[in-house]
Amino acid sequence: MKNTLLATFVLASGLTLCGSKSASAEEVTLIAPGGMRCPIDRMTPDFNRKTGHVLKATIGSGGATHQQVVRGAAFDVPIVQPPYQDVIASGNVTPATETPLASVAIMVVVRKGEPKPDISTPDAVKRMLLAAKAISYPDGAGGLGGAAGVSFDKTQTQLGILDEMKPKVKRVQGVSLMQLLTRGDIDVAITFASEINDPGVDVVGQLPREISTPTALVGFISSRAKAPEAAKALLSYLSSSDGAAAYRACGMQPAR
C-alpha cells in the first residue's frame, strides 16, 4: 500500500513538473550576424530540448543585423560585433547583460586539391593576392554588408593593394561563396571560419593577426524582450560549455 501511494505521488509529481515545464515554455527570438549561423544551427535542438523553450533565429549580414538592433527591431537576444557603442546608446539592449560569446577569424580557402599558397606573413598574403586571377569575399559595402568583407577591405587597405585588387574581386551577397570557388570562378575565397562548409574546398589557414584581427561576437538581452526569462536562459546557454563546444566545432574560439 505504501509503495502504491509513493508511486502515485511520484507519477503525480512528474505530471505536474512536465505540465509546469510546458506551461513556461516560450518562443525566444534571436538576431545574429552570418558568422553565428553554424553554431546557432548546432545549438538550437539541444537548447530547445533542455529548456523547453523554442528558439527562433534570424541570421543576416553583420551590418544589416546591427542596424536592426539599433533601430529597435523586436528580438529578445541580439548578437552584435564591435564596435557597438551605438547599440548600447540606442537603449534597445540592457547593458548589464553584455556577454562575450566567441570570436571568429578570417580564413583563406582554395579548391580541394589545389596548392596552398603561403600566407604566413603579411608580405606573403600580399603576394598571394596579387598573383591570384580572381578572388571573392562577402560584400561589406555600405555598412550593411558582411563583417568579413568589412574586415578584409581593411586588410587590403593595410597592405596597400585595395585599389589594385578591385578588377579581380567578386563581392558576394546572398550567394554561396564556396560554390564560386568549387565551380572555378575564383582562385581564392576569403571568409569567416564558421562560414566554410563545403567538402570541395581546402582551408589554407587564418590570415596573420597583424593584418586581420578575429571578430568578436557579443550577446545582450533586449531591453524590450517579450520573453525575458527565456532570453536569460538563451544567453546563459550561448555562453555555456555546450555553447563553447558548438563554437569550436564551427572553427570559432569561445570567449570563456
pLDDT of residue 158: 97
Residue 2: all three cell numbers together: 505504501
Q: In whole angstroms, what is the distance from residue 200 CA to residue 83 CA?
A: 34
The number of residues in the chain equals: 256
Residue 105: all three cell numbers together: 577569424
| In the predicted structure, residue 170 carries a pLDDT above the cut 70 | yes
Residue 224: all three cell numbers together: 524590450
User: Sorting pLDDT into bands at 50, 70 and 90, what band is 4?
Assistant: very low
Let me know if 23 is exposed, middle or buried by CB neighbors in 10 A (0-12, 13-18, 19+). Answer: exposed
Chain segment 237-256, per-residue pLDDT in tens: 999 999 999 999 999 999 98
Counts for the chain of helices (H) and strands (E), in that order: 10, 11
Closest to 117 (Cα-Cα) out of 107, 128, 126, 102: 128
| In the predicted structure, residue 14 carries a pLDDT above the cut 50 | no
| In the predicted structure, residue 5 carries a pLDDT above the cut 60 | no
| In the predicted structure, residue 19 carries a pLDDT above the cut 70 | no
Domains in the chain, start-ordered, CATH in brackets? 25-103+216-254 (3.40.190.10), 106-206 (3.40.190.10)
CB 40 within 8 A of CB 32: yes
pLDDT of residue 229: 96
Closest to 34 (Cα-Cα) out of 114, 130, 123, 137: 137
Chain segment 62-121, per-residue pLDDT in tens: 889 999 999 999 999 999 999 999 999 999 999 999 999 999 999 999 999 999 999 999
Average pLDDT over residues 192-199: 93
Q: In whole angstroms, what is the distance from residue 90 CA to residue 69 CA?
A: 8
Quick one: three-class SS letters along 114-160? CCCCCCCCHHHHHHHHHHCCCEEEECCHHHCCCHHHHHHHHHHHHHC
CB 186 within 8 A of CB 241: no
Q: In whole angstroms, what is the distance from residue 122 CA to residue 166 CA?
A: 19
**Per-residue CA distances from 256 to 103, 119, 235, 245 (Å):** 10, 28, 13, 11
